[in-house]
Structure 1
């Protein structure tokens, strides 16, 4: 009797597992097919794009679209745009790591009057839609003379409260006994931060760095506002310009090829650092006492 019951429960679990797998496969196909179609479209001729309708794979594979894209260094210098985006996103990410690590240490370890109140006030303000700050932010950037410069993309958003919240929560999982032990040995707050805390919060800093890099790379509205010089644009603002250049001539293959080139760096970043994206789900991966 007990054996039959176990067999029924096992069959029920297997059935649920199959249903879950089927659902995940369907969701994966819904997500993957448009991307695959976009990639294959970049290898089609314009005549095939217009005449063949929906066909997942091209009849004739060509690389002319990519050759045209890469040879256009005057009106649409996509390689320069990619280099601009790499510089902006990398610089922004490095500065973010410095700012949020120090700020998170202050909010989690240092004791001063109004610390928690200030933190939660700033956290609440961060929930306002970003579009509310567009005009004030542009006025500040313009007053500083940063329009059409990389600083317009690098500096804003360094002290994002989302990242600071993650670092603060992670640090709260580190026992304060480590700080006290170092302080007994004569270490200052700065020494404790550098020698004790910083090595332990490396996982969350990597996660925040990945989020900051992808966020800076994919930012679209802000670079469109602060850049008018074609040579200084990041790739997201450049893609909008390509719609005017290639879209007027219905060069769909060139548009798709440009989009594919734009996603390659972040795709490679995700492939090499996907385990850190998984770690971002767990805020309690610090050392527990």
Structure 2
């Protein structure tokens, strides 16, 4: 599992990278940062990273908020059509993005969001998997605790923020990691709706390097950018790893 990551770093430090036709080496004879320097000087990599961070952060915040609210409503409220609504939401997981990509693009184009970060953010803010995980977690919160809060005079909003949310730390950790990873690594939808080179996300920008005439051998540039793109994912996981493990365990037990 770790070897491909190791090979990626080695290729990034190898002059010209390690192309598929070149001889393979476990460590370069003369390690250098020339690949990193060249690609960052000739391509708008910092802009790509900034675009990805903006899209991932905004989408993660919206997705987590929607998942928490919807999961709480589906787990603790009784209303007509709840089961049908929940089942219909789960059915959307079965539809691959290739089925919905054309109508989604037409909607985005009609409202004038093509080549805008919001064209990526808005269609992906509703995360059914996040809602499912939130609902499963909140089923484990005792109803008696919520009833006690309401008897004490707390409204639904105060009950949610003062009683439910303090126990949802592990759940938030799970939702943040899953949502951020999904948006940071998303490739197909950003490739469709983002057209200008300056507006690309890092996965889409990375794909343009393989056929870029600016590089005699693109593999060093590709591996250099790929190595940098792994760092935000590692940082997010290290920050939320404790909550992630607790949340997955709690959801599974429920």
TM norm structure 2 = 0.92
In the alignment, structure 1 residue 107 sits paired with structure 2 residue 78? no
Taking a change above 3 Å as real, the CA distance of residues 148 and 49 of structure 1, as seen in their structure-2 partners, is: closer
C-alpha RMSD of the superposition = 2.2
**Closer, same or farther: CA 181–50 of 1 in aligned 2, 3 Å:** closer
What number of residue pairs does the alignment pair up?
254
Task: Rate the CA distance shift 1:221–1:39 in 2: closer, same or farther, 3 A.
Answer: same
Are the counterparts in 1 of residues 10 and 26 from structure 2 also a CA contact under 8 Å?
yes
Which ranges of 4 or more aligned residues in structure 1 deviate by more than 4 Å?
47-52
1:174 aligns with 2:154: no
Residue deviations 1:172-228 (CA, integer Å, cap 9, x gap)? 100001111111112222221121112222211221111000100000111110011
Indicate the residue corresponding to 2:175 in structure 1. 208
Greater C-alpha radius of gyration:
1
CA distance in 2 between counterparts of 1:52 and 1:232 reads 33
Matched, 1:239 2:210: no
TM-score (structure 1 length as normaliser): 0.82
Q: Which residue of 1 aligns with 2:193?
A: 226
Larger relative contact order (Cα-Cα within 8 Å, sequence gap ≥ 6): 2
Measured after TM superposition, the shift of residue 246 of structure 1 is 5.5
The offset of 1:46, in angstroms, is: 2.6
- The structure 2 residue matched to 1:55, chosen from 4, 25, 34, is 25
Unaligned runs of 5+ in 1: 1-30
Report 1:71-150 matches (<5 A).
71-72=41-42, 76-150=43-117
Partner of 1:274: 241
Secondary structure in 1 matching 2:220: helix
Instruction: Give, in whole Å, the separation in 1 of the partners of 2:176 and 2:53.
Output: 14
